[in-house]
Amino acid sequence: PSLGEIFADAAVVVDSRDETAVAAALDRVLGDGPLRARLVAAGRALAARHSWDEAARLTRAALLEAAGR
């Protein structure tokens, strides 16, 4: 999946190689209080759906599969 698919409405996704786009996105988020609040709320909701225990379990399973076990 792409970052846009993963973060959905919890991020402003730009091409990190495009300095102008990065600067414009930062200006937009820093200057738009309602947008910033919406991104924060969406980010917290996204984070609440995940856990370090689940990430560790999935990482372990992937490593075991890669090792052929």
**pLDDT tens, residue order, the chain (69 aa):** 788 888 888 999 999 999 999 999 999 999 999 999 999 999 999 999 999 999 999 999 999 999 998
| Integer angstrom CA distances of residue 40 from 17, 27, 37, 45 | 24, 16, 5, 9
Question: What integer pLDDT is reported at residue 63 of this predicted model?
Answer: 97
Q: In the chain, at which residue ranges do the beta strands (DSSP E only) sit?
A: none
Question: What integer pLDDT is reported at residue 55 of this predicted model?
Answer: 94
Question: What integer pLDDT is reported at residue 5 of this predicted model?
Answer: 85
Question: What integer pLDDT is reported at residue 69 of this predicted model?
Answer: 83
